[in-house]
Structures are given as C-alpha cells and as structure tokens.
A and B are shown apart, each in its own frame.
Chain A
Amino acid sequence: MKDDNRSSERLVALFLFGMVLFNPLVVGLFDVGAEIRLFGIPVLFLYLFIGWAVLIGLIAAVAESAPKDSKPTSPPTRPAD
C-alpha cells in the first residue's frame, strides 16, 4: 500500500501541475497573437498541445511504474460472502 500511496501522491501532484499548466493566467503568457509562430504553428496552440502531451506522458510514467493491485476485482471475490 505504501508504493500505491506514493503513486497517488505523484498523480495528485501532476493534477496540480496540470492546473497550473492550463491556468488562464499562465496560458495568457503564451497568447502572443497570430503573427508569432514556431515551426509554422501559433505559439498558443503549440504551448497547449505540447503541455498537454507532456502532462499525459508524466501521468503515464507514474501510472506504469505503479505496482499493480494483485487482487482480481471481477468478479469481485468477497470472503465474507
């Protein structure tokens, strides 16, 4: 359960990171208009999509390194029944 909690904590941290990443104020920093483009793509779009991809990558990294719950859950085995 310890490692499990560790992963939970990391995921909650990522959730908070995502809140910052997509906060209107932070997004506003990259709102530099249509004329400024990186690789031909407006900076705002680039920021949002790359930020999004990075967040997903981090979630994946945490989730995949988490230990699996060994208890099979379907059909639920309930000793008390």
Chain B
Amino acid sequence: MIPGWLIAVASLGYLTLLFAIAYYGDRRSDEGRSLILNPYIYAFSIAVYCTAWTFYGSVGLAARSGVGFLPIYLGPTLMFAFGWVVLRKIIRISKVHHITSIADFVSSRYGKSHVLGGLVSVIAVIGIMPYISLQLDAISASFNVLLNYPELSNSGSAIDLPLFGDTAFWVAVLLAVFSILFGTRHIDATEHHEGMVAAIAFESVVKLVAFISVGVFVTFGLFDGFGDLFARAAAEPTIAKLMTMEVVGAQWAPLTLLAMLAVFCLPRQFQVTVVENVDENHLNKAIWLFPLYLLLINIFVLPIAFGGLLRFPLGTVDADTYVLALPLAEGAPALALFAFIGGLSAATGMVIVATVALSTMICNDLIMPVLLRFAWLHLSEKKDLSGLLLAIRRGSIGFILLIGYLYFVLIGESYALVSIGLVSFAAAAQFAPAILAGMYWKGASHRGALLAISGGFLVWAYTLLLPSFALSGWLPAGFVERGAFGIELLKPYALFGLDGLGHISHALFWSLLVNVGTLVVVSLLDRQSMIERIQATLFVEVFRQGGTAGVGANIWQGSVSVSDLRSMAERFLGSERTHEIFAEYARNKQLDRPMAGNASGELVQFVERRLSGVIGAASARVMVASTLKGEGVGLEELMQILDETSQVLEYSRQLEQKSEQLEHASSELKAANERLTELDQMKDDFLSTVTHELRTPLTSIRSFSEILHDTPDLGLSERQHFLGIIIRESERLTRLINQVLDLTKIERGRMEWQMSDVDLAEVIDHAVSSMHHLFEEKNVTVDIRQPETIPPVRGDRDQLIQLAINLLSNAEKFCPGGNGRVEVALESGPKALTVSVADNGPGIPEHEQENIFEKFHQVRSDQTGNPMGSGLGLAICRGIVEHLGGRIWVRSKPGHGATFFFTVPFVKQ
C-alpha cells in the first residue's frame, strides 16, 4: 500500500530528472560536445525496443505460454547479426539523403513520392496507435495496482472506475507535454534529438536495473534460488506444462520473423537506430550490446512468472502485474515503487520516441506536402515557416496521444498487453518488403511499393484491426465468427479457411504474402519513371557511389538567384540556420566572395538536402522546384549521367585493380631479375677468379714440363729443382681444387658433417703437430695457452682440424722469416669456447678486415705484393665456424700482427 501522493511525486520527480538529462544533452550538443558520441549510449537508446510490454507483458505471456515470449527478443538478436549488412546500409543511405523518418525513407527511395510518404505515415500512425494505448494502459494499470493493492490487483476489473479512466487521460496529457518538450524544442536541420537520446538511454538503464531487482528479489528472496523455484514450479502440473514447447505452439517461428522485421520497421526503432545515429561505427558495438541487453532483461521473466503463479491462486492476480504484485504482497513496497518507476521508464521512453518519430512523419510527409500543394500561395505570404513546422509537430504529438488514449478507452481492455503489441508489430512489418527490396533491387517500383504497402495494410486491418473493433463491440461480433457478409471464407481470423495458426501468424502470413507478391509482380510489370530510377540507383549503390549523392548535382540548372534561394530556406530554417548553412557551403567550396547572382546547381542541391532534413525529401523537392525559373536539366539526361558515372566508377575501379596487379607482377619480376643478374655476376666473378687461380700453378707446371722435355741436357740439380716446382705446384693445384669443392659444398649445404663431441685442445695439438715441419722450416715458434679443463664442443672433428690448420698456415705465411711467433690461446666463455691465433706479421689494414673472409679476397704482402694464398682458406673457415653456430673475426693493428678469433659453442647440457 503506497499513498497516491508518493507515487505521483516519485513519478513526476523521475520525469523531471529525465527532462534535466535531455536538457543537458541538448545543451552539450549545442556546445558541440555531444553527450551521445559513444556506442554504449547508442545501444542503450535502441533498447527503447523494450517497452512496458516487455516490462509487464513478458511475464504475463510467460505465465500463459512459457518461453513463448522469447521470439520477440530472439528475432532482434538475429536481425542485428544481420545488421551489418542491412542496418548499415539503411544508416548510410539515410545519412547521405538526410532521411528524417521511415516514411521519408520509403518516399525518397521510390521517386520522392508524396503519396507513398503519406501512406506510410498514415499506416504508421494507425499501426502504432494500439501500441501507444498499451503504454497508457500499462502506466495507469501499474499506478492503480500500486495505489490499491491488494483490493484492485486485477487491472481487468478496474476499467469501469472513473478514477482509472482519468489516470490514463492524465498520463496521456503528461506524456504529450513531455514529448513536446523532448522532441520539438526547436527545428534542427540535422534532425538529431541528442537530449532525447540521452534520456532514453538513461531510461533503458533504469528499467533494466528495476526489472532485474524484482527478479533477484523473487528468485533469491521469495525462493531459494533458481533450483528451488523451478523445482517447486515443476511440482505443479499446470506450471510444469509451461516448461515445455507444447504451450508455445506454432507461433515460435512466425513471431521470430515478425520481431526481426519490427526491430527496424517500427517508427521509433527507425528513429533511434537510423535517424539518431551519429556515427556508423557505433553499430559495431550495438549489434551485440543490444542483444545482450535483451538477454539480461529476459533472464528473470520466467522466474517472476512462476513465482507469481506459485504465490497467487489462479485468477486472483493478473499475470501482467506480477512485477508489482509480488513485491507488494511480500512486503517490499519500496521495491514495488522502484519497479513502477522502471515500468514508467519503459512506457515513457517508447511514447516519447514514437510520438516524436510519428509527428515528424505527419508533419513532413503528410501535412506539409498537402499544405504546399493546395495552399502554396497562402503559405508563401508567411515570412517564417519554422514556427508553423513546430506547431504542426506539437499538434501531431497531441493528436497521436489522443487517438492512443481513445483506442485504450474504447478497445484496449479486451486484449492482453502482448497481443496489442503484436498487432502493431504486424503493421510495421508491412514496410519491410518495400525497404529491403528498395535497397537491393533497383527494379522495385513506386507503383509496386504503393500497392504492396496498401495491400499488406488492408489485409492487416482486416485480419487484426477490425476484429479488435468487433471484439470490443464496435462492429458486429458476427464479423469475427462468420466472416464479412456472412461468408465463411472471409473470416478475419481464418482467411480462405487457413486456420490454427494463431491470429498474429495468420495475419502475418496473409499480409506479407499480399505485400511481397504485389511488390514483385507490379514492379516486374511496371516501367519506372526517371526520378525513380535515379533514386533507386542512389539507394542500391550507396556504397559504390562513395557515400555521396553528389552525382545528381546537375539536376537543378534552371535559374534561381542566390537571394531567392536564401529567402526560401529562411522560411523553413529561420535566418540564423540559413545563414549557417550558406556559410558552410561557402566554406566547403572555399569561396571567398559572398555568393550572388544565379545559384549553381550544386548550391541548389545542397539547400534541397538540408531542407529535406527538416521537411522531408518530397516536400523539399517541391519547394526547390517552385523557386526555380525555367527548365532544369532533363531527368533523362541526369539518369544518363548517373549511369555513366557508375559505369566509369566501375571501369576505373577495375582499371585500378588491373594496374595494381600489373605493377605488383612487374615489381616481382624486376626483383627476380635483379637477383638473377646478381647471381650471374657472382657466378661470373667466381669462375673468373677460380680459373685465374687454377691457371697460375698450371702455367708453372706446363712451362717446366716443356722445359724439361725440350732441354735434355739439363744439369741434375736444375732438373731436380724444376721437378720439385712441378710437384709443389701440382700439390697447390690439388689443394685449390679441394678448397673450391669444400667451399661450394659448405655454401650449398651439401657438406657431410660428422657431428660429435670434440675436445678442441686435442684438435689444436693435432693441427700444430701436423704443421711442425713448416714452422721449423721458417723458424717460427708456436705457443699454446689453454685452461686446465675444457668442456667439449659440438662439431665435426675433421673440419675443426681443417679450420685450425687454415688459421695456423695463414699465421705462418704472414710471420716474418727468422723470428716468427704464433700464439694459440683457448678460453672458456659462458656458452662457447673462444680460440685465438695470433701472429707477429705485418697485420691487416683496417679496411681489409671486414672483407677478409670473403672468398678470393687476398691480402697481399706489403713487401712483395704477392698474394699470400688462394683466398679461399678464410672463407672456408668462416663457413665451418658459422655452420657450427660460432663466430669468426679478426683484430689487427697494422705493423703489430693480426689475431684471428673464432668461437665454437659447447655441447648443450
């Protein structure tokens, strides 16, 4: 039991808070620091999908059909997964064309048609009327429950009280005032209501928290968690049945489809998702955040429903009010009040957005075109039309709430919340075929869309709306039972004998069948007008047109002076906004002089777009056309331009692709060619050097052989000497050939390595002793310094000996004759053994040190200028060391000898 004044104060306080948020949001927007520039607020604002119907009605439905309420939320989840494709395109199109509502979208797509825009507006208003009445019902019913519990907990029986009727009326008035304050504070060319969006997002948070609070209270307060609750529910046969699909019936799939369509076709969803979208990228987050929101708000629906069924004897309390009744019955009035505020949030959010969206439609697509067409002369006398626009919108909001209230009073009581909502869903779904076909099929025509939507709507009205009148006594009851004029086949709930689907599925089937069928057949037979073809192309190819609608810029080439255009715009936008828009255009075009004389086609189109943001595409077109004197460019011509443009775009795109591929291929070829040239050069150099090195010993051998052959009288000692040379040079030749082979093997990775654990000290000893004679001959002393114990290294013993011999003979070669000294040192490092071989020769000039390990790089002795070796020894050394995972380098100061170092890693432990 909560006193009425407290409820009233809490409600008004909450609404004031909302308004404060909206006001703050608008102010931030005016200051250019938008509050809603983040994807989370965007996602929360889309959650306006969850109305009082969700808040109260889901529980009611769950109490009757178990999981039967879920399709309403699974549908949007699926649609949002698809949203990347569909929603993103709708959003892009709407941004490019300054679309202000779903009616504007449809009208703009099908040749900026007034008739279509008006039709969609009328259907939207009629279709949403039950939905708005549902919110009024919910607010007043919940108010009533809170006020009178437990006496009047069943809202169905409360309808006759004058007080109750009054409640709904005052709720309607209050909501009208709030909607006007939220949505029509001023006319804005961008048609964004940032303050409203911020407030709606806040409301979404409130209703979510409120609902989950009640859910937690029921599940964990009244029961001992989910397990306990479900166990007790399962014990009751009537409730246990709700845990099966049996109670859901054939509704599951049709309802999922219906919700999929409704989530973007309901005017308020189109408003928050498309019109109020400030950044396309926000969709990336919204496509999973919004479904997540739906999941969270639905988790406790079943527990609350079962809790209510367990707590209240059957029929004593309306299941639609469980959310309030349970806390009240269990002595938690504060929670009940919070839940009421949550429900209020859900209802007001829906009403505010829906009325703003509908009033924009009524104004832009219904009233303005009529006024402009039939009373143009009269209107033109008025200096400033922005006041008129606001007045029309405010009046529309009042009108919408009024008919919502009337529907509630006259018809509403005969339906449960959910059924009413679904009636509206089915009406909105009639827009889906025209919208979807319009975005993907250029051939969908104006006449097709007009007849399709009309046909679908008529079937909807016949199968859903009229029966609701009949059931309320406003039409003869026989209409439902026996069909129109008593014809069985025309029974509204079983058209042509189709029975057993459920009213909603039945209506959905027939209306969409008629709708889609008409759209396809008529469009195929139809011939589109030029303007239709232009708009169709612009819509379908919105991504290909580069997101701009600038292609048709030349449409307005009739002459209109800039000042005429400006005064026309001022009538709708006010002088301040008009000034801003013209300044923006000048800025974009970087014009430094004020515009005068005749307006360019581009400027005219720019103004038309901005104007369409305020009064809709169709009206804007009429307005601009009326100011033009003389002929514009023919539409034929424009269509041609458009076609050519898209062809050129496509062609240049292909060209670009091809040239990119070519460029890529040629750069690959070039690189390969360079590499080949390089390899060829290397091979050439190598061969040239090798042949040179081979020819030198060969020359000596041949010369002395011929000398010996041709000189039979040669002295013995000379003969011996020459033969000795032949032998040594032959050896040199052999060595050289072996080295070339070795190096080639190492470089190609074809060397066979006999890897084992090697004692490097033993290897050094072996190498030194094998060169013993050479050192003695030249009188070179060899010192070996080594630690006492050396861990083994991993390597090929023969190759390591080869390495040591190469370095030692290198040192020997450079040592001065007579007092040469070679020092070999081994040193253990942390990971590898370092061996150094030092000589006291002339040293190596610094510039030589870097490439001394290149093959055929020969260091020539300073004194003789003779090359000191084949130029392969060090290259082989490097090959061996690097293969074993070590490093080789040299340190030398010219004149002070040279020291070669190499490392070989130890055997891994």
Contact = CB atoms under 8 A, between A and B. Distances in A.
Q: Are A and B in contact, CB atoms below 8 Å, in the complex? A: yes
Interface residues of A, number: 48
B234 A37 contact: yes
Given A7-B84, A78-B549, A24 B288 contact: no
Given A24-B252, A35-B234, A81 B609 contact: yes
A30 B588 CA distance: 61
Q: For the complex of A and B, list the 6 residue pairs with the smallest distance between their C-beta atoms, beginning with the closest.
A: A80-B550, A40-B227, A34-B240, A60-B288, A34-B234, A34-B243
Contacts of B291: 52, 55-56, 59
Interface in A37-60: 37, 39-42, 44-45, 48-49, 52-53, 55-57, 59-60
Interface string A57-68: 101100110101
Interface of A: 7-8, 11-12, 14-15, 18-19, 22-24, 27-28, 31, 33-35, 37, 39-42, 44-45, 48-49, 52-53, 55-57, 59-60, 63-64, 66, 68-69, 71-76, 78-81
A34 to B, nearest CB: 4
Contacts of B640: none
Contacts of A12: 81-82, 84-85
A45 B227 contact: no
B728 to A, nearest CB: 70
A78 B74 contact: no
Given A34-B234, A52-B291, A73-B280, 17 more contacts: A12-B84, A31-B246, A33-B243, A37-B230, A41-B226, A42-B234, A55-B77, A55-B291, A59-B80, A63-B287, A63-B288, A74-B277, A74-B279, A76-B96, A80-B549, A80-B602, A81-B605
A45 B243 contact: yes
Contact of A74 (B225, B227, B278): B278
29 contacts: A11-B287, A12-B85, A14-B81, A22-B78, A24-B245, A28-B245, A33-B244, A34-B243, A34-B244, A35-B240, A37-B230, A37-B231, A40-B231, A44-B244, A45-B302, A48-B67, A48-B70, A49-B295, A55-B291, A63-B287, A63-B288, A66-B284, A68-B281, A74-B277, A74-B278, A76-B95, A79-B550, A80-B549, A81-B605
A44 B284 contact: no
B95 to A, nearest CB: 5
Given A60-B288, A79-B548, A49 B95 contact: no
Given A33-B243, A59-B288, A74-B279, A80 B548 contact: yes
Contacts of B407: none
Nearest to A35: B234
A12 B278 CA distance: 24
B310 interface: no
A18 B77 contact: yes
Contacts of A39: 226-227
Contacts of B553: 80
Contacts of B285: 63-64
A35 B234 CA distance: 7
A78 B550 contact: yes
Contacts of A22: 71, 74, 78, 256
Contacts of A63: 84, 284-285, 287-288
B798 interface: no
Contact of A56 (B284, B295, B551): B295
Contact of B78 (A15, A33, A53, A74): A15
A11 B81 contact: yes
Contact of A78 (B233, B277, B302, B548): B548
Contact of B602 (A34, A69, A76, A81): A81
A15 B81 contact: yes
Nearest to B280: A73
A12 B74 CA distance: 16
Interface in B44-60: none
